[in-house]
Structure 1
């Protein structure tokens, strides 16, 4: 019935049960429960899960065997339960466990972060103490158990000076970090053949040793095959340095290269893992087994600790190590305990814990072993089991390193021009492609997406038609061979899901060359190379503007003035397309004429800026005839595309432009509109007297009917004087200045479309100026109220007032040069208040009735209280101070008083006694008892007759 513990491995245990174990006890033992072996005798049901941390060993039940031990006449009287150690929950010997089915990829992560990422997702093992380890780790773990992955990380981050390890504790937590943090590295125990005993710092155990050495695994070089398959396998190497002293038959240095396969090792960790593997095979293989007759080794060492071993007969000495034991100097060798097998003897508690956390005591039904030797394996044991290289070399499971090939673009592309939402002409192109294979010729089964990037081609020579050239000034052209230079632009990228074979590139410039490339990406992130650059030219702008609306025309005998609001013939103004360049003005005698070069009379600029700013086109066409004529306009865009003509507008001789007027006096201008680029005059006014507006070099002035000036804009200073109201709008959110007929200094703020407003106004009292800031009216339980801040020289107040009576309603505050006051008032009745002057401060409650006032007054050097203290008959449990009185029993000598509620804390009573005057000066009394519920007052003798106590109580 031994227990075998193995460092960073499963180990095993076996517990034999007695034939008389009750069936109900035996039935509680189920698979994957836990057996705990605890030194001493304890009650498992009472101790509970605390036993998991106190136990010497905790194992997982995986087997139960019932047979005949042939010691009785009963069959099936030998029952044994078997299992393994707690490392099982990280993964068993067949690599079963909480497998990573989704890749876990630490990237330059710390040791602690990596270990936490690799813990089982099921929570079977949780983080215990994770110590810091120098360095960072990057890798990828998938389709493996946490035990394999954690061992891999510890091996990779170990160094010769600081080895790293892990262990699973009995309570299901994982400790990991440097071995010096997990185990005893300064031995406290020495195993000797003779001279066992105790010393001040060491315990010597008697034992014998068996040593077997060989060089079957000896290697001088390791080539590690990492991720990949076939020719894409990544490799790492490590060589023995310094070179070995062994020779072959011809005297050449010994060369033994070992191949190790680790398909889950990335290229960045390959050399490190090769060095880890080589370190296991650079010396002799030492199989060292110790046996000690002291079967109770608990407390001397645990598996993973280091011990001293001294046996000169077997060569187990190390002259570099010197230990003094019982006054004698010995030179033991320092070895690590890798495995221990020990018996389960009487004196232990054997307890079983079910998966639901129920504990069962098996101690009385356990057949304990007799004391026997403890077998200990130390040194480089189990190298073949724990080392690397268990995978087959060659074709084996590996990470996906296949790289997609280059997709093939299918030309020619299909494109067209369109108008975007802003009215500009843009181009779009539909590209298509054929999906590739992997670069090794295999079919892509894990494709994720395609990446397409495109940019303006800057090497193309852009042709131009004469119509396009006609729209550009000569000074704006580039070279003769390339009148239009290509614009510069960065690559733009779009993503298309795998399985799609087309994509639409939008918002391209019409008639411009573009470069495009494509590549493929698989689900692992392997990215194929970009394909060759393919150049295409987008569709030219072939979309003409909409037909414009008919213009407005005014004519004279020598000219026609054309006005156009850049609207479409279908309706609206300033809604023609944004790529407009100009309007052609055509004039003829027939209303249905067709615009030609002969009818073209001029070109008027019309562009997106004029459309956005809503600036109409105004153009004068020189026409000598005086008879009626018709005008049509044609819209032309930047590319030269022309719209259909507008409807015709007629014009007659109504106006003469200034080029044909030699003499014009003001008396001759009686009606209409005067339009001019320059108009020089001393003054322009609407009338000589009365209500009028006047524009002169001094500025702009306005006068009312009485001749009083109401508006003055001074041209010299920019000063503006306005008498009357200023309103920023007629409805909605707006600002009004001087809104009332009396023109009080007032500013109103309307924050919404309603009639409610806040305002600031000024009121004068003699020479003083008082300022009010008033909020909008709001409803307070059916009463209209508003907030007001009123600033005056005497009393400045902030309060909530009734809108109808201006009485205070709620909290208010006012300040004066000599005092400050904060209080509460509702309907004319005051409440709480705070009052301060230079000599006193008040705080309390005052409704204006002196008999009910209750407040504290603080003066320099004294405090005054106005009002009454709480009576003990109506106190709350949190009352801080109260008073009262109680009559004592006639001729009695004690009285007890109960407060009613139990106070929150203890009370301290201060008591005075009133008794018969004849003995008033001789009667003594004490408070004999006091707590949170009552107190008792005791007289020194019986009272003569009626007596009372008066008291104050303070709660502490």
Structure 2
């Protein structure tokens, strides 16, 4: 048992508490304040139901606590929509009783499994309109059967029992469904509407924010496009009023795709991807395009209109030069005839001349160089002068690929020069020999030789001693030969024949005759009659002819061979 002293102390403490309670009640009843505290309201069982005043997190307000869970709600009404379901609650409890006064909202749960238990995994959203029912669209959903249940939640955040479930299956669009007014905002799936389905101009009366509206975000509004960091500081500003773009940081390692970048809109400028052409264009002060960098190569245009164009994609990468009117061009190109080669050609513009449309070309190939006149339409055909050099030969002359008989060139090789043409020598007037050939010491071959390939024989040859051999008939303008037939006018009587119409070269002329006969001297025949040739002779020998004589024992026609030599 407590001592009287202890009992007195306990009684005093109790009285103090009661006095404090009385004071509190008097202050509240008479409009007094609660000083940095909260007023708790408890039910008759002592359970906290409301906290009024300063809350545990430092805020001030009226917070409901530990309210009884609402009863089970009526089953949801599920209406199938395109790729979605519309969930409607009629605002009633399943048993028909009145909604509790602390009813706050409806939690909606959706699953593809019948008889499921609502959980955070199946939570789909809330219907916040308390007491009068409401609707929640759920999208997008796959085209299979879904089950929907509702749970009522009071102002204390306590949920009641789940409602009965209602099944529904989202529908797919069918042609007849797409009539005017058949598609509403609630039934359009997120991301389903693309740019080409929108109007040319879409006016927004508010802003679009991606991220934290007060922190890191991208914001699109009537002022333009803004990008903010986590502190709310503006980092990127695309101003709709001025058209200016401001970046507070660096643009590093970025790709700009499908856009036009230009230093100005008119006049002297550089543009990138103008008109989606994937080109870099350079304009002069007059607004004329004078430079291009594209997948086709690099081009530059001068003030006259002449163009220089580098084409790396051609079969033979080339640098081409165009005339001011663009009608003609010359070019330098590289050719890899064999792997690893870097042959180079320089080709003039085309021109019309003998042979058709022609070009001049010089080409540096694998260990050879040539300069030639080629056909513009077919550069394998050369017609005209040509020079060719290699490590073993060199040639210069004329070639016509369309007619081999027109070739006229000289091919030089070690110790030899081969002439493939008729030789015409027209030396100038001088005291020197028109054609001069001198053998080196120790030479053992011919001084000159004319060889017939078909006959496989020399037709003319001069050896080191000067001996000359002619393999055919020698014809000379100072030598004339022939034969005449003379019938003696009488036996043993000289009869003449005048030879004329000749043109033997020379100033002094000599004549030679002989009878073509088997009886060159006086003789008799088998019958004893004289029939021999007494003599033949020639007189009055000149360039134009001579007189030939025959004296025979009878009058038999006699053939006389003659020769006149001029000197």
TM-score if structure 2 supplies the norm length?
Answer: 0.29
Q: Who wins on radius of gyration, i.e. which is larger?
A: 2
Structure with the greater relative contact order (CA < 8 A, sep ≥ 6): 1 or 2? 1
